[in-house]
Amino acid sequence: MPLSVIIGGWFGDEGKGKVVSYLGLVDKPGICVRTGSINAGHTVNYNGRTWKLRILPSCFVNESTQLMIAPGALLKIDVLLREIKETSSASRVWVDVNTGVIEDRHVESERSNEYLMKVIGSTGQGVGAAMVDRILRVLKTAKDFPELRDLTTDVSREVNEELDRGGSVIIEGTQGTFLSLYHGTYPYVTSRDTTAAGVISEVGVSPRLVGDIVLVFKAYVTRVGAGELPGELSMDEVITRGWTERGTVTGRPRRAAPFNIDLARRAVMLNRPTQIAITKFDALFPSARGKRKWVDLPVEARKWIESISEALKVPVTLVGTGEDSMDMIDLRREVIGP
Ligand code: IMP
Ligand code: MG
């Protein structure tokens, strides 16, 4: 579909980076737009290399894709420049003139805020503090920084023109549905709306143009920071199941719980996806590891996927079976058609 939006179904860290990098490599979109900010770490493993991105779109692995940062996103200049270098993507990175810029004082303000750091469990990256300034209309944006001049563009115009030309665009959401400022487990949430509607609003594209919404669920649920996590397992149990993870940005251990169908139903209601992606499937079914074909999955693994499609009334089209971007079972042709 010409415009696809990729959204997290849990509390972030569902593996959106992997899904977006796979779609980038296979669908080769003209543009990929990153929303959100540097509190969100998206990991890409491809051809034996690992990148932990906090602001660039995970589609960078496809070299023909233009990489854009949404007007509603917030960047930090040192993070942006470092990632451009690490991904060797200088000639195809574009920042909207209105993309907000986080400054050191925003980071300091968050890190000295005990409520935010201790009660909410913020990542302390200055994102919320910069959003406060944005709403007060005192935040500087990309156009105010001479060092960004050569990178700035009109992202919503670029996206709309690409779609009008018949090209394709991927919008990469950040965090997850239940960290949404409005629809999540308030106040234990991040500082923006992370649902599909919020994410397209950050880019400046009409809901009428959205072709696909891909909702990404990891095969189990994780959460970093405070707030409810239904069915939360003890750390010992998390270790036994091999579900131990650490935050990409903060290094904190992630809390974990089994796949939660009620939570998934609510995420489906809030985002109305056309497709579902399941990541880390090999954590549930070790014999699925590295498989790239549906027929190579054990019967019970196929049944589990089918039961999720049925329960949520949305087809599971992508199943991640390993770290590499290409470790994916892609059912889109079978399920949706060419
Ligand atoms: P903040 O947005 O950094 O202030 O963090 C607010 C809450 O959202 C905390 O519980 C964080 O751990 C969580 N959070 C923010 N960004 C991410 C993310 O990318 N993945 C997972 N949790 C996140
Ligand atoms: Mg993450």
pLDDT at 1 over 70: no
Alpha helices in 143-260 (DSSP H): 155-164, 196-203, 235-240
Q: Which of 3-7, 50-54, 75-79, 334-338 has the lowest average pLDDT?
A: 334-338
pLDDT at 151 over 90: yes
Q: What is the mean pLDDT of residues 83-90?
A: 97
Share of the chain above pLDDT 90, in %: 96
CA R_g for the chain: 19
Atom of ligand 1 nearest to the CA of 224: 12
Alpha helices in the chain (DSSP H): 16-27, 77-86, 104-111, 114, 127-135, 155-164, 196-203, 235-240, 261-271, 281-284, 299-312, 332-336
Cα–Cα distances (Å) from 322 to 15, 43, 46, 329, in that order, read 11, 13, 11, 10
Q: What architecture does CATH give domain 3-336? A: 3-Layer(aba) Sandwich (3.40)
- Identify the pLDDT of residue 250: 87
Share of the chain above pLDDT 70, in %: 99
CA angle, residues 119, 122, 128, in degrees to nearest 5? 115
d(C-alpha 126, C-alpha 111), whole Å: 8
d(C-alpha 162, C-alpha 164), whole Å: 5
Q: What is the mean pLDDT of residues 252-261?
A: 96
Residues carrying an active site annotation: 13, 42
Residues 6+ apart with CB under 8 A from 113: 122, 129
Q: Is the distance from CB of 65 to CB of 85 less than 8 angstroms?
A: no
Q: Is the distance from CB of 220 to CB of 278 less than 8 angstroms?
A: no
Q: What is the mean pLDDT of residues 21-43?
A: 97
Among 218, 224, 245, the mutation site with the greatest number of ligand 1 atoms within 8 A of its Cβ is 224
Atom of ligand 1 nearest to the CA of 252: 12
Q: Which of 30-44, 46-60, 167-181, 237-251 has the lowest average pLDDT?
A: 237-251
Atom of ligand 1 nearest to the CA of 225: 10
**Residue 164's pLDDT band (cuts 50, 70, 90):** very high
Selection from 197, 156, 215, 177 nearest residue 6 by Cα: 215
pLDDT at 6 over 90: yes
Neighbours of ion ligand 2 (CB under 5 A): 13, 41, 248
Distance 21 CA to ligand 2 centre (A): 14
pLDDT in tens, 177-198: 999 999 999 999 999 999 999 9
pLDDT at 52 over 80: yes
- Identify the pLDDT of residue 248: 83
The phi and psi torsions of 249 (rounded to 5 degrees) equal -90, -40
- Identify the pLDDT of residue 249: 85
- Identify the pLDDT of residue 338: 67
Kindly state the tokens that stand for 43: 């990991």
**Residue 125's pLDDT band (cuts 50, 70, 90):** very high
Please provide the DSSP assignment of 244-294 as one string. --B-TTT-PBPEEEE--HHHHHHHHHHH--SEEEEE-HHHH-GGGTT--SG
Q: What is the mean pLDDT of the chain?
A: 97
- Identify the pLDDT of residue 217: 98
* Run of H or E including 32: strand 31-34
Q: Where exactly are the structural domains of the chain?
A: 3-336
d(C-alpha 57, C-alpha 159), whole Å: 14
d(C-alpha 161, C-alpha 167), whole Å: 9
pTM of the full structure: 0.97
- Identify the pLDDT of residue 136: 98
Ligand 1 site residues (CB inside 6 A) read 11-13, 39-41, 120-123, 125, 127-128, 175, 179, 188, 190-191, 224-226
pLDDT in tens, 266-321: 999 999 999 999 999 999 999 999 999 999 999 999 999 999 999 999 999 999 99
Kindly state the tokens that stand for 98: 């209105």
Binning the chain into helix, strand and coil, the percentages to the nearest 5 are 40, 20, 40
